[in-house]
Amino acid sequence: MKPIMQALKEVQLKDLWMEFGFLALIVLYLVNMIVGSQANKRIAYAWAQEYTTEGKVLERNFSHIGISDEEGTEVTLLKEGAAMFHCYASGRRFCTGMVASLDLRPRMELFQGYVLNAILPQDDIVDLEVRMNEASMPKTVLCIATTRLAREMLRKEGCYEDLKLYTRKVEVAKDRIPNWPHEKLTVLAEQPSIFYDLMSEAMLDQVFGRAAFEEIGQYFRAIRITTEAEGKHKQASSLSIAQFSFVLPPAEQMDKLGRWMTAAMVFIDTLGNYKMKPEQKAKADKARQEAAAHAEKGGEEETYEREEKLRQKKKEEEQEKLKRMSPAEREKYQKRKDKIERDRRARRMGKGMVVKM
């Protein structure tokens, strides 16, 4: 017992620097996890308070906001994780409902939330996905996005196939929209005429005009409307979606997003009231017929390439097998293979013969 006590007395604090370092790191991680989760919750609740409570934008536009949680309690904001919240709304003309997804920075994770964010800054984002009634949606694909985001959307593999297949970049004519912020926004449209029709004076005055965008443009990411949704949205033969993506301001400045939230509701009504011209409908139908033919041809080519790869792989495996055989084994193998091939040809010829009575 005495040697142990003597050894403990001889241990100095400087000898425990590694242990204290690990302990400090654990404490820092736990504190950050709690503080980060609370910070995200504060941002999410600030958004809900500003836009879903009585008299606010979403409450005025939808008859019902909220969903039941796992315990059966009706909640406005459903927490899906420490950095993900969802808000469900229904009961509005022109659409079947809306899902608002708040995708926040992972502040509860020390490395990703702060260290990595210092190198690659990540915004807090709110995405509004509105399921439009099929009869209330023009058959088209259109995207208005920041130039950087539009470039990322077109490059991303396996996503936004509707933009790649149907749209082309539109150089917004200065004689049509003189105050459009060309250097900050990219327009991808299936039919440019529909884009110009949807850009009403109200939309330009409130958000998309140069003066308005200079003021609140830092909160805009993208608007995408499509009748050719893919991936997780492809749950029906025809699905019409309007998506709005915005950057969330800090919790104490959440009201600065108000004009964009209002603009999203106005845009839904603009879409619902829009009637395509006969020539626009004809172009849309033709584009979809061509896309279907292209997809069918691409499917056949993909099947052929897959079968060809399998045949080539089988041939290579057979060659490797032959290399490992002795000359006598190779000769025996080849005779058996030739016999199988002769029998196969004989059977094919037998099936093709016509017996006359």
Q: How is 255-274 classified by DSSP, letter by letter?
A: GGGHHHHHHHHHHHHHHHH-
Strands (E), the chain: 64-65, 67-68, 74-75, 78-81, 84-90, 95-103, 125-132, 141-146, 168-170, 185-189, 220-226, 240-247
pLDDT band per the 50, 70, 90 thresholds, residue 333:
confident
| pLDDT of 3 higher than 70 | no
- C-alpha angle 58-60-66 in degrees, rounded to nearest 5: 50
| pLDDT of 12 higher than 60 | no
* Residue 305 located in a structural domain: no
The pLDDT value recorded for residue 109 is 77
* Residue 209 located in a structural domain: yes
- Three-state secondary structure readout of 288-328: HHHHHHHHHHHHHHHHHHHHHHHHHHHHHHHHHHHHCCCHH
- C-alpha angle 152-156-157 in degrees, rounded to nearest 5: 170
* Residue 247 located in a structural domain: yes
The pLDDT value recorded for residue 354 is 46
Tokens of 243: 């998506």
CA gyration radius for the chain? 31
| pLDDT of 356 higher than 50 | no
Tally the domains of the chain.
1
SS3 104: coil
* Residue 294 located in a structural domain: no
Domain with 202 in it: 18-276
Q: The pTM is what?
A: 0.76
Residues 131-168 have pLDDT tens digits of 999 888 999 999 999 999 999 999 988 889 899 989 99
Q: What is the mean pLDDT of the chain?
A: 83
Tokens of 262: 């209002």
* Residue 238 located in a structural domain: yes
SS3 content of the chain, % helix, strand, coil (to 5): 55, 20, 25
* Residue 295 located in a structural domain: no
Distances (CA, A) of 336 to 10, 311, 326, 333, 344: 83, 20, 15, 5, 12
Residues 69-100 have pLDDT tens digits of 677 678 899 989 889 999 999 999 999 999 99
pLDDT band per the 50, 70, 90 thresholds, residue 52:
very high
Residue whose pair of structure tokens reads 């896309």 in the numeric block: 291
- How many whole angstroms separate alpha carbon 284 and alpha carbon 167? 11
SS3 123: coil
